[in-house]
Amino acid sequence: MSTRIAKNVDTLIDAIEKALPENNAGLIGAEDIRENLIDVVYSIPYIVASGDWNQTGTEFISDVHLITDNTGTTGGILQVASGVRFPDGVLQKVAYQGPGTIDHGTGLVGSSLLDDDHPQYISVTGVRSMEGHFGLGDDSGNSGMSHRIGAKNNVDSASGHGIHFEYVDANEEVLHVGDKTSVKFDKDNSSFDSAKSTALAWINFNSVDGGSEATTVTVNSSYNISAIKRQTSDGTSTGSPLAGKFEIYFEPGLFDNADTTGSGICAIGSSNGRNDNSTSSDINADVNVACVVRNNNMVSFTVISESAYVDATVNDLIVFGNASGVTPDTGPTVGYVGS
């Protein structure tokens, strides 16, 4: 048998028409049929591979099914060495990695790496503002606490850096500042790392409204004060009301219940000692205010002028201290000058 050369579709058809004429003259031999059939069989893979079928009327119009052999171990694989070209002209030369395995660093090319195609996510460039609430989620192992926000991504409860939130209940959420984090104001470079410098309670009141000790005290403003009570001659509600002597009560739980002596409370009081306040000179020169009794529930507020207890139009009290649950400072050292 002579050397075979793969033939295209047109060449095969031409050969068949010449070797197998449409007549019954007996000029068609077995060799003619055999040779043409062999040429067809031999040329099939080359015709398909060459793309001769890819023309109008000859292209594939049905699905191509690839299956393994009878053993189920070989075959059924479509191997494309040069790539696959799609109708839009795009040529794909590497395998599609699948939605769960594409690495954005290697799977995406060109300017698409810089595109902002995901507006539902936060952009690290800050080009979008938040359009809804932003929860940080619970920090595993730190019950009730959220994950922290900080200058670096390695903040945690052990480092003391950053801020985070504590969800107490539907009525309360607490912002926590790490013990190595402080609040600094760019306006004047002032900063604070503790709220101990903030007054925990204060009140401004008028005790001469109506001109009688028995008249109800008028509270002009207050913070964390639950009640102000005038002292009486016998310490009961039926005793005679006394001028210039009061007990001022804090909101429950403001100070530690263990501080029954008020040793952690700093109370600062002032009064003008008079029943008028129309000018800046309406003040008794020798007025004195003392907050002698102090505990976790209240402080006493006493106004005395010229050895007599008096009511006054202007009375102020400011209270500092360690709130309930706050860790006290170790305090300053005590010694002699030069030591």
Weakest-pLDDT range from 112-116, 149-153, 200-204, 261-265: 112-116
Same domain, 168 and 235: no
Same domain, 186 and 206: no
Residue 84 lies in a domain: yes
Residue 115 lies in a domain: no
Please write the tens of the pLDDT for every residue from 52-106: 555 565 666 667 777 887 777 777 788 888 888 888 999 998 887 777 776 666 6
Same domain, 71 and 16: yes
Same domain, 317 and 206: yes
Asked if 215 and 286 count as a contact pair (C-beta separation under 8 A), the reply is no
Weakest-pLDDT range from 22-31, 110-119, 190-199, 240-249: 110-119
- From 280, 265, 267, 291, select the one nearest 314 (Cα to Cα): 280
Same domain, 316 and 206: yes
Same domain, 209 and 187: no
Q: Which two tokens stand for residue 277?
A: 């306040």
Residue that finishes a domain, picked among 94, 121, 155: 94
Q: Measured in Å, how far apart are the chain's first and last C-alpha atoms?
A: 121
> What's the rounded Cα separation, in Å, for the pair 142 and 157?
9
pLDDT at 127: 83
Same domain, 172 and 241: no
Q: What is the mean pLDDT of residues 230-255?
A: 94
Residue 78 has phi, psi (to 5 degrees) of -100, 110
Please write the tens of the pLDDT for every residue from 186-223: 999 999 999 989 999 999 999 998 778 878 899 999 99
Please write the tens of the pLDDT for every residue from 295-330: 999 999 999 998 899 999 999 999 999 999 998 888
Residue 329 lies in a domain: no
The answer on pLDDT for 147 being more than 60 is yes
Question: Which of 133-137, 169-173, 246-250 shows the highest mean pLDDT?
Answer: 246-250
Checking phi first, is residue 128 left (phi over 0); if not, alpha (psi -120 to 50) or beta? Answer: beta
Residue 316 lies in a domain: yes
Q: Which residues contact 256 (CB under 8 A, 6 or more apart)?
A: 264, 296, 322, 323, 324, 325
Same domain, 266 and 221: yes
> What's the rounded Cα separation, in Å, for the pair 314 and 208?
9
Q: What is the mean pLDDT of residues 3-11?
A: 77
Q: What's the domain range around 182?
A: 135-193
Q: What is the mean pLDDT of residues 155-162?
A: 79
Mean pLDDT score of the chain: 85
pLDDT at 221: 98
pLDDT at 168: 87
Same domain, 24 and 47: yes
Residue 121 lies in a domain: no
Dump the DSSP string for 281-298: T-S-TT-EEE---B-SSE
Asked if 182 and 194 count as a contact pair (C-beta separation under 8 A), the reply is no
pLDDT at 273: 95
Check: pTM over 0.85? Answer yes or no. Answer: no
Residue that finishes a domain, picked among 94, 119, 146: 94
Query: Which of 11 and 284 is assigned the larger pLDDT?
Result: 284
Residue 227 lies in a domain: yes
Same domain, 308 and 218: yes
pLDDT confidence bin for 19, thresholds 50/70/90 = confident
Task: Tell me whether strands 298-305 and 183-184 are parallel, antiparallel or unpaired.
Answer: unpaired
Handedness of CA 96, 102, 105, 108 (dihedral sign): positive
Residue 87 lies in a domain: yes
> What's the rounded Cα separation, in Å, for the pair 103 and 91?
20
The answer on pLDDT for 337 being more than 80 is yes
Total of domains in the chain: 3
Residue 183 lies in a domain: yes
pLDDT at 142: 72
User: For the stretch 3-26, what's the b/e string if a residue is b when 16 or more beta carbons lie within 10 angstroms of its beta carbon?
Assistant: eeeebeeeebeebeeebeeeeeee
Same domain, 217 and 291: yes
Query: Which of 159 and 85 is assigned the larger pLDDT?
Result: 85
Same domain, 84 and 143: no
Q: What is the mean pLDDT of residues 162-186?
A: 91
